[in-house]
Amino acid sequence: MSEYGKVAGTRSTPQTEPIPGSSQVANSAGGFTWAVSKWDRLMRFLVLGAEGGTYYIGQRQLIKENAQAVMDCAAEDAERTVNILIDVAETGRAPKAIPTIFALAMLCGHKDMRTRQLALAAVPRVCRIGTHLFNFLADIEKFRGWGRSLRRAVGSWYLTKDPRALAYQITKYQQRDGETHRDALRRSHPAAKDDSVNEVLRYAVGKLDVPGEWLGSDFPHRTLLAAVESAKRVETEPEILHLIERHNLVRECIPTKWLNSKKVWGALLERMPMTAMIRNLGKMTSIGLLSPMSDTAKKVVSVLESQEALHKSHIHPFNVLLALTTYNMGHGVRGKLTWSPVPQVSDALDGAFMASFPNVVPTNKNWYLGIDISGSMHSAIANTHISQSMAAAAMAMVAARTEPWFCAYGFSSRSGGWGARDVGMVDMGITKQKQLSTIMSGTPRWTGGSTDCSLPFQHALENNLPVDVFAVYTDNETYAGTPHPAQALQEYREKTGRPAKLIVVGMAANEFSIADPNDAGMLDVVGFDASAPTVMADFARD
C-alpha cells in the first residue's frame, strides 16, 4: 500500500472529465489537469519563456497569461518575487535572460511603490551585461515613463562598474533592440564622482576623442578604448592581430572586413569566452580554422572537456544543446553559412551538455523516464529549432547517464487523434552510451499523435516494473485516455505495494500539471532549469 494519500482515488475517470471531488481545471487540449501554483508558473516562464507560444496557445496569449502570474506573485510577496528574478539571473538557471528582464520591467512599472523600488534596485543585478540593459530599455516604456527613480536605476547600471569593466561593456555590447548606450545615457543622466568613469561615459555618448597615445596608458580603460578605436583604422592583418593579442579585443570590436581571416579568428579564440566560442564553432569551421586533427580543434575540445572552464563560464545546458544541434546540422538556422562538422568537436559538445549541469549524485533508485512524444510536443523551446520532445529527450538523457538503474520510453496515446501516428509506447533507445545527438535527431520521427500521460504508469504495471521514481517529461496537455495519470499512478502503488514517486518535468510555460498538489509523492519541476536534476535527485532520496 502506498504511503501517500488516495486523493486521486483508483476510479477510472476519462481525462476529458475532472476527477470527482478534485480541484482540476480544463487544460488547452480539452482534458483536465491541475493548475500549478503561481510560483511554479513564474519559474516556468522565467526558464522556458513564451516565445513562439505552444501547440495550443499563441505567443501573445501565453505572454499575457505569464505576465499575470508575475503580477500575482508580486501581489502576494513582492520581495520574494524580485529575489527570484535576481537568483535566476545571477545563478544562470535560465537559458535566456529575456523573460526575467521582461518580468523585472513589469515590476518597475508596478502601481505599488515598494514593489517598484525593489525592482528598480535590482536592475544592475538582473541586467548583468549591456545586451540585458538594452532588453530592459526596450521593455520598460511599455510599463512606465522616465521618472527620477528609473533614471537613477539605469544610471546605477553604469556607475556601479569600475572604469575598465564599463569600457568593456560599452565596446562589446554596442546596440540591441534599437537601443544604444548613447540613448540610455542621454535619458538617465548619470554623474560619476570618478573621473575615469566619466571618461568612459563621455566616450559612450560620442563626446570624447581618444588620442593614440592612450594605447600606452597606465589606465586600463584608456588602453582598451584606444585599442578599439585603433582597430577601426588599421589596414593590415598583422596590425589587427597585434591589437587582438595585446589588448584582448573581442569579436564585436573587430571590423567586418577581418572576420573571414583564419588568423584573426585564431587570435580571438585564444581568450574567447565559452559562450562566444560555442556560438561561433560553425563560423570557425567554415573558414577552415577548425578542421579534423588540427591544433585548433584539439584546443576547442580541451576547453569543452574542462569541467572547470564550463562551471566558470556559467554557460546554460540548453545553450550547449543548441550549439550541438546547430553544429551537427552543418549550417546556420539563418543565413547561408555552411560547414562540415568535426566529429571530435561534436562529441565534446555532447559531453559538455552533461557536464554543464551541477554535479548530481546518483540516487540508486529505479527510475522510469517517460518522454511525451505526442503531436503538441512538436512546439519549439524558446523559439529555437529544438522541439519540446527533443528537449525532453535531452533532459531524460541527463537522468539516464546519472542513474545506474532506469528504463526510458516515449509515449503518446493508444487511440484516437492521428491514427497511425499514435504510437502508444516506444523504446527510443536511450542508453548511457548512446550519443545525445543520435537521440535528438531520432526523436522527431516518433513525435506525433494525441496525448495520454497515464501510459507510463500503465506500462510499468502491465510489465511488472519495480519503479521507485517516475519522471515524466511533458507539456501536461493530456486528454486522450482513461484513467487520469494520477489515478494510474495510485493504481500502480496499490497493486505493487511500492510507494512510487512522480516528478513532472514541465516543458511548456503553461499553468497545467498532471501532478496532484495534494499528494506529497508528486513534484513539479521546470524543464531546463539548470538546477532541476539536483532537485529531482533530492526529492527521489527523501
Domain ranges in the chain are: 25-39+356-541, 40-273
Query: Could you read off the pLDDT of 431-447 as tens digits, one per residue?
Result: 998 889 889 888 888 88
Statement: residue 356 has pLDDT above 70: yes
Query: Rounded to whole angstroms, how far apart are CA atoms 169 and 331?
Result: 30
- Asked whether the beta carbons of 127 and 184 are under 8 A apart, the reply is no
In the predicted model, is pLDDT for residue 2 greater than 70? Answer: no
Q: Give which of 250, 295, 281 is closest to 268, Cα–Cα.
A: 250
* pLDDT score recorded for residue 1: 34
Query: Are 301 and 348 contacting, i.e. CB atoms less than 8 angstroms apart?
Result: yes
In this predicted structure, which of 9-13, 420-424, 497-501 has the lowest mean pLDDT? 420-424
The DSSP code for 1 is -
Lookup result for grid cell 565559452: 274
In tens, the pLDDT along 180-213 reads 999 999 999 998 999 999 999 999 999 999 998 9
Q: What are the distances in angstroms from CA 135 to CA 52, 81, 99, 141, 179?
A: 18, 20, 10, 11, 8
Kindly state the average pLDDT of the residues 89-103.
Answer: 95
- Prior bond of 483 cis (ω within 30°): yes
d(CA 474, CA 504): 7
The class of domain 25-39+356-541 in CATH terms is alpha beta
Average the pLDDT over 459-484 and give the result: 97
Model confidence band, residue 52 (pLDDT cutoffs 50, 70, 90): confident
Instruction: Look at residue 304 and tell me whether its pLDDT is greater than 70.
Output: yes
- Report the distance separating Cα 452 and Cα 479, nearest Å: 6
**What is the predicted pLDDT for the residue at 418?**
42
Predicted confidence at residue 415, as pLDDT, reads 65
The residue among 89, 157, 382 whose CA lies nearest residue 104 is: 89
pLDDT, mean over the chain: 93
What CA–CA distance (Å, rounded) separates 244 from 250? 7
Buried-state track 218-229, b at ≥16 Cβ within 10 A, e below 16: ebbbbbbbbbbb
